Structure 1
Amino acid sequence: MPTTDDAPDPSDADGLPTMPATAWAVLGTLSFGEGLSGYDIKTWADWSLNYFYWSPSFSQVYSELKRLEKHGFVESDNGDGGARNRRVYTITPAGLAALRRWARESEVDRPVLKHPTMLHLWMGHLSDPNRLKEMVRGHITQMTALRDGAAERAENSCREPSWAYSQIVMEWSRRHYDNEITLAEELLEQIDAAGARFDSAAKQEGTGLPIPLEPGHWKSRA
Protein backbone atom coordinates (compact mmCIF):
# COMPACT_ATOMS: atom_id res chain seq x y z
CA MET A 1 0.00 0.00 0.00
CA PRO A 2 1.57 3.37 -1.00
CA THR A 3 2.47 5.89 1.67
CA THR A 4 1.07 9.40 1.59
CA ASP A 5 4.27 10.68 -0.01
CA ASP A 6 4.14 7.98 -2.70
CA ALA A 7 0.43 8.37 -3.46
CA PRO A 8 -0.16 10.09 -6.80
CA ASP A 9 -1.62 13.59 -6.90
CA PRO A 10 -5.20 13.75 -8.17
CA SER A 11 -5.74 15.32 -11.59
CA ASP A 12 -8.32 17.71 -12.97
CA ALA A 13 -10.70 16.83 -15.79
CA ASP A 14 -8.00 17.62 -18.37
CA GLY A 15 -5.34 15.53 -16.67
CA LEU A 16 -3.34 18.37 -15.06
CA PRO A 17 -2.11 17.32 -11.59
CA THR A 18 -3.84 19.24 -8.83
CA MET A 19 -0.62 20.12 -7.05
CA PRO A 20 -0.39 22.88 -4.43
CA ALA A 21 0.66 26.35 -5.56
CA THR A 22 3.97 25.73 -3.80
CA ALA A 23 4.86 23.08 -6.37
CA TRP A 24 3.94 25.31 -9.31
CA ALA A 25 5.95 28.17 -7.82
CA VAL A 26 9.02 25.95 -7.45
CA LEU A 27 8.54 24.74 -11.02
CA GLY A 28 8.17 28.37 -12.09
CA THR A 29 11.66 29.21 -10.85
CA LEU A 30 12.98 26.74 -13.44
CA SER A 31 11.13 28.44 -16.31
CA PHE A 32 13.61 31.30 -16.73
CA GLY A 33 16.12 29.30 -18.75
CA GLU A 34 18.52 28.23 -16.00
CA GLY A 35 19.18 24.96 -14.23
CA LEU A 36 19.06 25.49 -10.46
CA SER A 37 19.98 23.59 -7.34
CA GLY A 38 17.56 23.38 -4.43
CA TYR A 39 19.70 26.02 -2.70
CA ASP A 40 19.44 28.26 -5.77
CA ILE A 41 15.66 27.88 -5.83
CA LYS A 42 15.41 28.83 -2.16
CA THR A 43 17.68 31.83 -2.76
CA TRP A 44 15.67 32.94 -5.78
CA ALA A 45 12.42 32.57 -3.84
CA ASP A 46 13.84 34.74 -1.05
CA TRP A 47 14.96 37.26 -3.68
CA SER A 48 11.63 37.48 -5.48
CA LEU A 49 8.64 35.36 -4.35
CA ASN A 50 9.10 36.56 -0.78
CA TYR A 51 7.96 40.07 -1.76
CA PHE A 52 4.56 39.17 -3.14
CA TYR A 53 3.71 35.58 -2.23
CA TRP A 54 5.84 33.66 0.29
CA SER A 55 9.26 32.09 0.65
CA PRO A 56 9.34 28.29 1.03
CA SER A 57 11.60 26.57 3.51
CA PHE A 58 14.40 24.34 2.24
CA SER A 59 12.36 21.29 3.22
CA GLN A 60 9.42 22.56 1.14
CA VAL A 61 11.67 23.19 -1.86
CA TYR A 62 13.13 19.67 -1.80
CA SER A 63 9.75 18.08 -1.10
CA GLU A 64 8.25 19.82 -4.13
CA LEU A 65 11.24 18.95 -6.32
CA LYS A 66 10.70 15.30 -5.39
CA ARG A 67 7.04 15.62 -6.35
CA LEU A 68 7.90 17.33 -9.64
CA GLU A 69 10.44 14.65 -10.52
CA LYS A 70 7.82 11.99 -9.82
CA HIS A 71 5.54 13.68 -12.37
CA GLY A 72 8.39 13.95 -14.89
CA PHE A 73 8.21 17.75 -14.76
CA VAL A 74 11.86 18.21 -13.73
CA GLU A 75 15.03 16.22 -14.13
CA SER A 76 18.27 16.51 -12.22
CA ASP A 77 21.95 15.71 -12.42
CA ASN A 78 25.05 16.43 -10.41
CA GLY A 79 25.79 19.69 -12.19
CA ASP A 80 29.38 20.48 -13.04
CA GLY A 81 30.78 18.04 -10.50
CA GLY A 82 32.39 20.88 -8.52
CA ALA A 83 33.45 20.72 -4.92
CA ARG A 84 29.94 21.25 -3.58
CA ASN A 85 28.47 18.84 -6.16
CA ARG A 86 24.91 20.14 -5.88
CA ARG A 87 22.15 18.47 -7.84
CA VAL A 88 20.93 20.80 -10.56
CA TYR A 89 17.29 20.68 -11.63
CA THR A 90 15.93 21.64 -15.03
CA ILE A 91 12.38 21.78 -16.31
CA THR A 92 11.39 19.09 -18.81
CA PRO A 93 9.21 19.62 -21.91
CA ALA A 94 6.34 17.94 -20.04
CA GLY A 95 6.93 20.24 -17.06
CA LEU A 96 6.98 23.32 -19.26
CA ALA A 97 3.76 22.28 -20.99
CA ALA A 98 2.06 21.66 -17.64
CA LEU A 99 3.32 24.95 -16.22
CA ARG A 100 2.09 26.87 -19.28
CA ARG A 101 -1.36 25.33 -18.81
CA TRP A 102 -1.42 26.08 -15.10
CA ALA A 103 -0.30 29.70 -15.65
CA ARG A 104 -2.95 30.26 -18.32
CA GLU A 105 -5.89 28.17 -17.17
CA SER A 106 -5.85 27.76 -13.39
CA GLU A 107 -8.34 29.73 -11.33
CA VAL A 108 -6.93 32.66 -9.40
CA ASP A 109 -7.97 32.53 -5.76
CA ARG A 110 -8.65 35.63 -3.71
CA PRO A 111 -5.59 36.89 -1.82
CA VAL A 112 -5.33 35.63 1.73
CA LEU A 113 -4.56 38.41 4.19
CA LYS A 114 -3.08 37.26 7.51
CA HIS A 115 -1.96 40.46 9.20
CA PRO A 116 -0.49 39.85 12.69
CA THR A 117 -0.32 43.57 13.51
CA MET A 118 -4.00 43.99 12.67
CA LEU A 119 -4.88 40.96 14.79
CA HIS A 120 -3.19 42.62 17.78
CA LEU A 121 -4.91 45.90 17.00
CA TRP A 122 -8.29 44.14 16.68
CA MET A 123 -7.74 43.02 20.29
CA GLY A 124 -6.52 46.46 21.27
CA HIS A 125 -9.06 46.64 24.12
CA LEU A 126 -6.82 44.10 25.91
CA SER A 127 -3.71 46.23 25.43
CA ASP A 128 -3.05 49.95 25.67
CA PRO A 129 -2.50 52.71 23.07
CA ASN A 130 1.22 53.14 23.71
CA ARG A 131 1.92 49.43 23.24
CA LEU A 132 -0.23 49.32 20.11
CA LYS A 133 1.62 52.29 18.62
CA GLU A 134 4.91 50.55 19.39
CA MET A 135 3.69 47.51 17.43
CA VAL A 136 2.57 49.66 14.50
CA ARG A 137 5.93 51.45 14.41
CA GLY A 138 7.65 48.06 14.32
CA HIS A 139 5.37 47.10 11.44
CA ILE A 140 6.34 50.28 9.60
CA THR A 141 10.01 49.38 10.04
CA GLN A 142 9.40 45.93 8.54
CA MET A 143 7.38 47.35 5.65
CA THR A 144 10.06 49.94 4.93
CA ALA A 145 12.68 47.20 4.62
CA LEU A 146 10.41 45.20 2.29
CA ARG A 147 9.58 48.27 0.20
CA ASP A 148 13.26 49.12 -0.23
CA GLY A 149 14.10 45.50 -1.02
CA ALA A 150 11.38 45.31 -3.67
CA ALA A 151 12.58 48.60 -5.19
CA GLU A 152 16.13 47.23 -5.40
CA ARG A 153 14.93 44.06 -7.09
CA ALA A 154 12.81 46.00 -9.55
CA GLU A 155 15.86 48.03 -10.50
CA ASN A 156 18.07 44.94 -10.80
CA SER A 157 15.46 43.25 -13.00
CA CYS A 158 16.03 45.90 -15.67
CA ARG A 159 19.24 44.16 -16.75
CA GLU A 160 17.57 40.94 -17.82
CA PRO A 161 14.92 41.01 -20.59
CA SER A 162 13.55 37.63 -19.49
CA TRP A 163 12.64 39.24 -16.16
CA ALA A 164 10.34 41.84 -17.75
CA TYR A 165 7.26 40.49 -15.99
CA SER A 166 9.19 39.95 -12.77
CA GLN A 167 10.14 43.61 -12.88
CA ILE A 168 6.56 44.85 -12.96
CA VAL A 169 5.68 42.49 -10.10
CA MET A 170 8.58 43.86 -8.06
CA GLU A 171 7.45 47.41 -8.84
CA TRP A 172 3.91 46.49 -7.78
CA SER A 173 5.37 45.06 -4.56
CA ARG A 174 7.20 48.32 -3.90
CA ARG A 175 3.98 50.29 -4.26
CA HIS A 176 2.11 47.76 -2.11
CA TYR A 177 4.52 48.17 0.79
CA ASP A 178 4.56 51.93 0.31
CA ASN A 179 0.77 51.95 0.66
CA GLU A 180 1.02 49.69 3.70
CA ILE A 181 3.34 52.24 5.33
CA THR A 182 0.87 55.04 4.61
CA LEU A 183 -2.01 53.04 6.13
CA ALA A 184 0.06 52.24 9.22
CA GLU A 185 1.00 55.89 9.68
CA GLU A 186 -2.71 56.74 9.59
CA LEU A 187 -3.30 54.14 12.30
CA LEU A 188 -0.82 55.90 14.56
CA GLU A 189 -3.04 58.97 14.35
CA GLN A 190 -6.19 56.95 15.07
CA ILE A 191 -5.12 54.79 18.01
CA ASP A 192 -5.43 57.45 20.71
CA ALA A 193 -8.94 58.38 19.55
CA ALA A 194 -9.92 54.70 19.55
CA GLY A 195 -8.51 54.33 23.06
CA ALA A 196 -10.49 57.32 24.30
CA ARG A 197 -13.67 55.94 22.75
CA PHE A 198 -13.11 52.54 24.34
CA ASP A 199 -12.44 54.14 27.72
CA SER A 200 -15.91 55.69 27.59
CA ALA A 201 -17.55 52.24 27.49
CA ALA A 202 -19.00 50.77 30.66
CA LYS A 203 -16.87 47.92 32.03
CA GLN A 204 -17.59 44.71 33.89
CA GLU A 205 -16.34 44.55 37.44
CA GLY A 206 -13.39 42.25 37.92
CA THR A 207 -12.51 41.59 34.26
CA GLY A 208 -12.61 45.13 32.93
CA LEU A 209 -14.22 43.79 29.76
CA PRO A 210 -16.74 46.10 28.08
CA ILE A 211 -20.47 45.86 28.64
CA PRO A 212 -22.02 45.88 25.13
CA LEU A 213 -24.74 48.44 24.48
CA GLU A 214 -26.43 46.05 22.05
CA PRO A 215 -25.39 42.45 22.80
CA GLY A 216 -25.45 40.29 19.68
CA HIS A 217 -26.14 43.20 17.33
CA TRP A 218 -23.38 41.95 15.03
CA LYS A 219 -25.49 38.87 14.20
CA SER A 220 -27.92 40.96 12.17
CA ARG A 221 -25.01 42.50 10.27
CA ALA A 222 -23.04 39.32 9.57
Structure 2
Amino acid sequence: MADETNKRALPATSWAVLGLLSFGEELSGYDLKKWSDWSLRFFYWSPSFSQIYSELKRLEKAGYASSRMVAQDTGTRDKRVYRITDEGMAAVRKWAREAPVDPPVLKHGPMLRLWLGHLLEPEQMREVLVQHQEFAEGMRRRAAADVEGAKDESAWVYPALTLKWAERYYASERDLAAGMLADLDELGGLRPRP
Protein backbone atom coordinates (compact mmCIF):
# COMPACT_ATOMS: atom_id res chain seq x y z
CA MET A 1 0.00 0.00 0.00
CA ALA A 2 1.31 3.43 -0.95
CA ASP A 3 2.30 5.80 1.82
CA GLU A 4 0.64 9.17 1.15
CA THR A 5 3.21 10.97 3.34
CA ASN A 6 5.98 9.92 0.96
CA LYS A 7 4.13 11.46 -2.00
CA ARG A 8 4.20 14.97 -0.62
CA ALA A 9 7.02 17.24 -1.73
CA LEU A 10 9.47 14.68 -3.04
CA PRO A 11 13.03 16.02 -3.22
CA ALA A 12 14.67 16.64 -6.59
CA THR A 13 16.72 13.44 -6.23
CA SER A 14 13.50 11.40 -6.10
CA TRP A 15 12.28 12.96 -9.32
CA ALA A 16 15.66 12.36 -10.95
CA VAL A 17 15.65 8.66 -9.96
CA LEU A 18 12.02 8.26 -10.99
CA GLY A 19 12.87 10.00 -14.26
CA LEU A 20 15.63 7.46 -14.91
CA LEU A 21 13.07 4.69 -14.38
CA SER A 22 10.60 6.43 -16.72
CA PHE A 23 12.51 5.20 -19.76
CA GLY A 24 10.79 1.88 -19.12
CA GLU A 25 13.57 -0.50 -18.20
CA GLU A 26 13.96 -2.51 -15.03
CA LEU A 27 17.13 -1.22 -13.43
CA SER A 28 19.21 -2.10 -10.40
CA GLY A 29 20.61 0.60 -8.13
CA TYR A 30 23.97 0.01 -9.82
CA ASP A 31 22.38 0.54 -13.26
CA LEU A 32 20.72 3.73 -12.04
CA LYS A 33 24.07 5.03 -10.81
CA LYS A 34 25.68 4.27 -14.19
CA TRP A 35 22.83 5.99 -16.03
CA SER A 36 23.00 9.04 -13.76
CA ASP A 37 26.78 9.23 -14.27
CA TRP A 38 26.17 9.06 -18.01
CA SER A 39 23.54 11.76 -18.15
CA LEU A 40 22.57 13.62 -14.97
CA ARG A 41 26.11 14.59 -13.97
CA PHE A 42 26.37 17.00 -16.87
CA PHE A 43 23.55 19.25 -15.76
CA TYR A 44 22.37 18.40 -12.25
CA TRP A 45 24.52 16.08 -10.20
CA SER A 46 25.05 12.38 -10.03
CA PRO A 47 23.59 11.03 -6.81
CA SER A 48 25.69 8.63 -4.76
CA PHE A 49 24.73 4.98 -4.41
CA SER A 50 23.37 5.64 -0.93
CA GLN A 51 21.20 8.50 -2.21
CA ILE A 52 19.87 6.32 -5.04
CA TYR A 53 18.95 3.47 -2.69
CA SER A 54 17.34 5.88 -0.21
CA GLU A 55 15.26 7.41 -2.98
CA LEU A 56 14.27 3.98 -4.33
CA LYS A 57 12.95 3.05 -0.87
CA ARG A 58 11.05 6.35 -0.70
CA LEU A 59 9.61 5.81 -4.20
CA GLU A 60 8.52 2.26 -3.31
CA LYS A 61 6.82 3.51 -0.14
CA ALA A 62 5.01 6.14 -2.21
CA GLY A 63 3.86 3.48 -4.68
CA TYR A 64 5.82 5.08 -7.54
CA ALA A 65 8.24 2.18 -8.03
CA SER A 66 8.22 -1.55 -7.46
CA SER A 67 11.05 -4.00 -7.12
CA ARG A 68 11.79 -7.68 -7.36
CA MET A 69 14.78 -9.94 -6.81
CA VAL A 70 16.47 -11.43 -9.87
CA ALA A 71 18.60 -14.58 -9.56
CA GLN A 72 22.17 -14.22 -10.78
CA ASP A 73 24.71 -16.75 -11.98
CA THR A 74 26.03 -19.10 -9.33
CA GLY A 75 28.51 -17.49 -7.02
CA THR A 76 26.99 -14.00 -7.16
CA ARG A 77 24.27 -12.48 -5.06
CA ASP A 78 20.78 -12.01 -6.40
CA LYS A 79 20.06 -8.42 -7.32
CA ARG A 80 17.04 -6.22 -6.79
CA VAL A 81 15.69 -4.47 -9.87
CA TYR A 82 13.23 -1.59 -9.89
CA ARG A 83 10.51 -0.56 -12.29
CA ILE A 84 8.34 2.53 -12.38
CA THR A 85 4.66 1.91 -11.63
CA ASP A 86 1.79 3.41 -13.60
CA GLU A 87 1.19 5.74 -10.67
CA GLY A 88 4.87 6.69 -10.69
CA MET A 89 4.79 7.41 -14.42
CA ALA A 90 1.73 9.62 -13.95
CA ALA A 91 3.42 11.43 -11.06
CA VAL A 92 6.70 12.10 -12.86
CA ARG A 93 4.82 13.17 -15.99
CA LYS A 94 2.73 15.60 -13.90
CA TRP A 95 5.85 16.89 -12.14
CA ALA A 96 7.69 17.41 -15.48
CA ARG A 97 4.70 19.22 -16.96
CA GLU A 98 3.47 21.28 -14.03
CA ALA A 99 6.10 21.81 -11.33
CA PRO A 100 7.65 25.26 -11.31
CA VAL A 101 11.08 25.28 -12.89
CA ASP A 102 13.67 25.99 -10.23
CA PRO A 103 16.26 28.55 -11.27
CA PRO A 104 19.77 27.08 -11.43
CA VAL A 105 21.78 27.41 -8.24
CA LEU A 106 25.31 28.43 -8.99
CA LYS A 107 27.93 26.94 -6.69
CA HIS A 108 31.02 27.76 -8.69
CA GLY A 109 34.34 27.03 -6.99
CA PRO A 110 36.53 28.91 -9.50
CA MET A 111 34.32 32.02 -9.21
CA LEU A 112 34.56 31.86 -5.43
CA ARG A 113 38.35 31.67 -5.71
CA LEU A 114 38.37 34.60 -8.16
CA TRP A 115 36.23 36.57 -5.74
CA LEU A 116 38.89 35.85 -3.09
CA GLY A 117 41.70 36.64 -5.51
CA HIS A 118 43.09 39.30 -3.19
CA LEU A 119 44.16 36.42 -0.92
CA LEU A 120 46.03 34.55 -3.67
CA GLU A 121 49.16 35.15 -5.62
CA PRO A 122 48.42 36.00 -9.27
CA GLU A 123 49.91 32.69 -10.45
CA GLN A 124 47.68 30.76 -8.04
CA MET A 125 44.63 32.48 -9.50
CA ARG A 126 45.83 31.70 -13.02
CA GLU A 127 46.28 28.04 -12.07
CA VAL A 128 42.71 27.85 -10.71
CA LEU A 129 41.38 29.26 -13.98
CA VAL A 130 43.58 27.03 -16.15
CA GLN A 131 42.41 23.96 -14.20
CA HIS A 132 38.80 25.02 -14.64
CA GLN A 133 39.35 25.61 -18.34
CA GLU A 134 40.82 22.10 -18.71
CA PHE A 135 37.99 20.57 -16.66
CA ALA A 136 35.34 22.33 -18.75
CA GLU A 137 36.94 21.19 -21.99
CA GLY A 138 37.10 17.61 -20.72
CA MET A 139 33.42 17.68 -19.78
CA ARG A 140 32.54 19.24 -23.14
CA ARG A 141 34.33 16.43 -24.95
CA ARG A 142 32.63 13.73 -22.84
CA ALA A 143 29.21 15.29 -23.44
CA ALA A 144 29.92 15.44 -27.19
CA ALA A 145 30.98 11.79 -27.20
CA ASP A 146 27.85 10.79 -25.29
CA VAL A 147 25.69 12.70 -27.80
CA GLU A 148 27.27 10.58 -30.53
CA GLY A 149 26.63 7.41 -28.53
CA ALA A 150 22.96 8.28 -28.05
CA LYS A 151 22.19 9.11 -31.69
CA ASP A 152 20.97 5.65 -32.70
CA GLU A 153 18.59 5.16 -29.77
CA SER A 154 15.22 6.83 -30.44
CA ALA A 155 14.19 6.67 -26.77
CA TRP A 156 17.15 8.90 -25.88
CA VAL A 157 16.26 11.83 -28.14
CA TYR A 158 15.66 14.22 -25.23
CA PRO A 159 18.58 13.03 -23.11
CA ALA A 160 20.72 13.55 -26.25
CA LEU A 161 19.41 17.12 -26.57
CA THR A 162 20.25 17.68 -22.91
CA LEU A 163 23.77 16.39 -23.58
CA LYS A 164 24.05 18.90 -26.46
CA TRP A 165 23.09 21.62 -23.98
CA ALA A 166 25.79 20.31 -21.62
CA GLU A 167 28.32 20.35 -24.45
CA ARG A 168 27.50 24.01 -25.19
CA TYR A 169 27.46 24.91 -21.49
CA TYR A 170 30.92 23.49 -20.86
CA ALA A 171 32.25 25.17 -24.03
CA SER A 172 31.02 28.47 -22.59
CA GLU A 173 32.64 27.70 -19.19
CA ARG A 174 35.92 26.97 -21.01
CA ASP A 175 35.61 30.27 -22.89
CA LEU A 176 34.67 32.20 -19.75
CA ALA A 177 37.82 30.91 -18.03
CA ALA A 178 39.88 32.03 -21.05
CA GLY A 179 38.28 35.46 -20.79
CA MET A 180 39.08 35.66 -17.08
CA LEU A 181 42.70 34.71 -17.80
CA ALA A 182 42.86 37.60 -20.27
CA ASP A 183 41.31 39.90 -17.66
CA LEU A 184 43.95 38.79 -15.14
CA ASP A 185 46.66 39.64 -17.66
CA GLU A 186 45.18 43.14 -17.92
CA LEU A 187 45.43 43.54 -14.14
CA GLY A 188 49.16 42.87 -14.51
CA GLY A 189 49.88 41.59 -11.02
CA LEU A 190 47.80 44.26 -9.29
CA ARG A 191 46.53 42.78 -6.01
CA PRO A 192 44.05 45.12 -4.38
CA ARG A 193 43.62 44.60 -0.66
CA PRO A 194 40.17 44.34 0.92
Short-chain TM bin: over 0.9
Residue in structure 2 matched with residue 79 of structure 1 by the alignment: 70
Unaligned runs of 5+ in 2: none
Which of 7, 23, 28 is 2:19 aligned to?
28
Please tell me the root mean square deviation across aligned C-alpha atoms, in Å.
1.7
Rg larger in structure: 1
Alignment TM-score, normalising by the size of structure 1: 0.81
Residue in structure 2 matched with residue 135 of structure 1 by the alignment: 128
1:1-222 aligned within 5 A:
8-9=5-6, 17-82=8-73, 83-194=76-187, 196-199=189-192, 209-210=193-194
8 Å contact 1:76–1:89 — kept in the other structure? Answer: yes
> How far apart are the structure 2 equivalents of 1:180 and 1:29?
27
Between structures 1 and 2, the one with greater helix share: 2
Residue in structure 2 matched with residue 215 of structure 1 by the alignment: none
> How far apart are the structure 1 equivalents of 2:84 and 2:25?
9
> How far apart are the structure 1 equivalents of 2:137 and 2:34?
21
- C-alpha displacement at 1:7, in angstroms? 9.7
Query: CA offsets per residue over residues 108-155 of structure 1, 9 Å max, x none?
Result: 011011100110010101112111001111111111111011001111
Change (3 A) 1:106 1:44: same
Higher mean alpha-carbon deviation, 187-196 vs 175-184, is at 187-196
> How far apart are the structure 1 equivalents of 2:125 and 2:64?
48
Unaligned runs of 5+ in 1: 1-5, 10-15, 200-208, 211-222
Q: How many residue pairs align between the two structures?
A: 190
> How far apart are the structure 2 equivalents of 1:94 and 1:141?
44
Query: CA offsets per residue over residues 42-85 of structure 1, 9 Å max, x none?
Result: 11100100011100011100000000000011110112444342
- C-alpha displacement at 1:195, in angstroms? 5.3
Q: Per chain length, whose mean CA-contact separation is higher, i.e. which structure has more relative contact order (CA < 8 Å, sep 6+)? A: 2
Q: Match of 2:63, as an amino acid?
A: G
Change (3 A) 1:127 1:170: same
> How far apart are the structure 2 equivalents of 1:81 and 1:74?
22
Identity over the aligned pairs, expressed in percent?
49
